[in-house]
Chain A
Amino acid sequence: MKEKKEENKEKIGIGAWVALIVLILVLSGAFRTVDGPLKVLDFTNLSGSFGQIGDTGANLIGSGGTGAKDGFMAGFNLIPAVMFFCGLLGVFEQLGAFKASDILFRPLLRPLMGIPGKCGIAFISSFTGSDVAAVMTRELYEDGDITDDERTIFVAYQYAGSACINNTITGGAPLVAICPVALGPCIVIMFVCKLIGANIVRLILHAKRNKA
């Protein structure tokens, strides 16, 4: 019991909230074009850039390549930012940023998607991984915590984009590198679209239930 209390205490520690705020700021792109020391609070700035070779205007990736060789160089170009992001995410997770976001989102799940707050951990983990969330969703149903319809709504949310943060950083890397819209806003757009999709399913299931 005491252990449980301590765990709860750790969950809402101020450090976790600060970590969450910093993580959101770093991904938001808010400080991308700021002058001065605050610009270190931006993922793109922290990822940096390759130096130019001579005064050719091209970096080591070069320009005008084609086919597999050019594809390899383009992939190579993305690896440093992906490595950095994975490191960063691990640190923020350890600092409790995910636990804080769980507390933040838990009361919002019912109004957002019509699913109970018990889905909170699965919901948060679905941002960064699809498998854990999927298994948890199945267990939530088997334990009687969610109904069949609630599961369908939740799956509609999870399925589109699956682990949207990690997939955007890894799979989306070639476009993230050039996209003028920062990573954070892109993830928010996906989140909104996922919610719209889940709510369409919610409406369809609701209409069907009323009919029956």
Chain B
Amino acid sequence: MSAEVQTAAAAKPAAAKKPSIVDTFLKGCAKGFKVGIENITPAMILGYVLVYILQETGLMDLLGTIMSPVMGLFGLPGEAFAVLISAFFAKASGCATAASMYQAGTLTLGQASMMLPACILMGTLIGHYARIVLVTDSNKKWHPLLIGICLLDAAISLVIMRIILAAMGVQ
């Protein structure tokens, strides 16, 4: 009897360790819902409000004029700089800003899509500086280099995406 109880007790944690595929899927979906409500939707609201303010105040045009020589190197209008700035603070708001600019007609589909990898690669650099660079306790001497590398990675991705989208015939 006691052996039986023991077996059952031993089997219980084993069963708890491996939930069914359906349970795992449902749990994952629920987690996704939480991420959607707590992370994505707030970022979208920030991005859309930011674009609205930039447009209505005329700051968007100003930004476009000032940044057009730099962004022009990647085939992007100067306004696209706002996407990269907001991505620097949060990946999600950078992507939301790009999507909103596409909706508003400031960016073409090709230009907005081109920035997806860049927004991720150079996104949330301050937050992740703490979570990755500081947590790994990496050599402080190289920290500025590590930040610079993220920006460089983003620039390379813009070039690669531009070539791929041009090859696909996306404007």
Contacts and interface: CB of A to CB of B under 8 A. Distances in A.
Interface of A: 66-68, 70-72, 74-76, 78-79, 82-91, 93-95, 130-131, 133-135, 137-138, 141, 148-149, 151-152, 154-156, 158-162, 164, 167-168, 170-181, 185-186, 189-190, 192-194, 196-198, 200-201, 204-205
Interface of B: 18-19, 21, 24-33, 35-37, 39-49, 52, 90-92, 94-96, 98-100, 102-103, 109-110, 112-113, 115-117, 119-125, 128-129, 131-133, 135-139, 142, 145-147, 149-150, 152-154, 156-157, 160-161, 164-165, 168, 170
A107 B120 CA distance: 27
B153 A82 contact: no
15 contacts: A74-B96, A75-B36, A78-B44, A91-B25, A94-B24, A134-B132, A138-B136, A155-B136, A167-B91, A168-B120, A170-B36, A179-B113, A179-B116, A186-B116, A197-B152
A134 B145 contact: no
B115 A91 contact: no
A160 B48 contact: no
Contact of B36 (A83, A95, A159): A83
Majority secondary structure of chain B interface residues (helix, strand, loop or mixed): helix
A175 B116 contact: yes
Nearest to A154: B136
Contact of B48 (A70, A95, A137, A154): A70
A83 B33 contact: yes
